[in-house]
Amino acid sequence: MEAELDTEPQQLMEPSYSQTMEIDPRRARFPCSIVWSPLPVISWFIPFIGHIGICREDGVILDFAGPNFVCVDNFAFGSATRYLQIPKEKCCIPLGQSAYNSEECYMQDETREDLRTWDDALRKSTQEFQHRSYNLFTCNCHSFVANNLNRLGFLSGRWNVVNLAIFIFFNGRWVSKASMLRSIIPFVVVFFLGVTFGGFTFLKFWFFFTSILIGWFLLGTYCFKNLIQL
């Protein structure tokens, strides 16, 4: 009985895993998560395309927002409207304090000493993208997040801008009802006005614009693999 009484206060003093991983949208804190927000104009026409970032273990958002520039705690296009928290057990980095579980999990040019935690991996990717030029069509925010996920070994890696966008679209959670409306209403309004005043001409333009943009990333990802950087 005495031994049990001695250990209980220590357990109460230690922060639990759930406490350290709590989402707090009011403070823009999304620990170990991918976050998403709509892009001006582009998201008005194609609502599943937006701006994304990835968060440190303390919930601070990092996003590739311009040439040689990774934003820290200042999401480039407003507050996040969707998020997806990454399960730690599905990454090769244990995300607590120990190193990789197996030699197959880390990238070829990096060692166990280089990457021991989630934040170590994000720091490496941030340093890399601070020396890259930003281009919406070849090296963008999706490239940055995909690079991080590959370095983390999430679901065995192999992330690119296409499967990442699909993954967020189908698995992301809305931060709130207001965030959902903020993301969807511009598309509904633009599409309604376009069909009302433009009719079939607007639909042709919309289809052409959507096909060109999506086709570019599909071809650049799966046919010309050096075109879109990761």
Quickly state the pLDDT bin for 20 (edges 50, 70, 90): low
Give the span between the Cα atoms of 141 and 230, in whole angstroms.
10
Please provide the average confidence, as pLDDT, over all residues in the chain.
84
Residue 100 confidence (pLDDT): 33
Residue 12 reports pLDDT greater than 50: no
pLDDT at 203 exceeding the cut of 50: yes
Q: pTM for this structure?
A: 0.82
Backbone angles phi, psi at 43, to 5 degrees: -70, -20
Mean pLDDT value across residues 195-217: 95
- For the cut 70, the answer to whether the pLDDT of residue 96 exceeds it is no
Higher per-residue pLDDT: 129 or 2 = 129
Helix (H) or strand (E) holding 9, with range, is: helix 2-13
Q: CA–CA separation, 10 vs 13, rounded Å?
A: 5
Encode pLDDT of 128-156 as tens digits: 999 999 999 999 999 999 999 999 989 87
> Hey, how many other C-beta atoms are within 10 angstroms of the C-beta on 10?
8
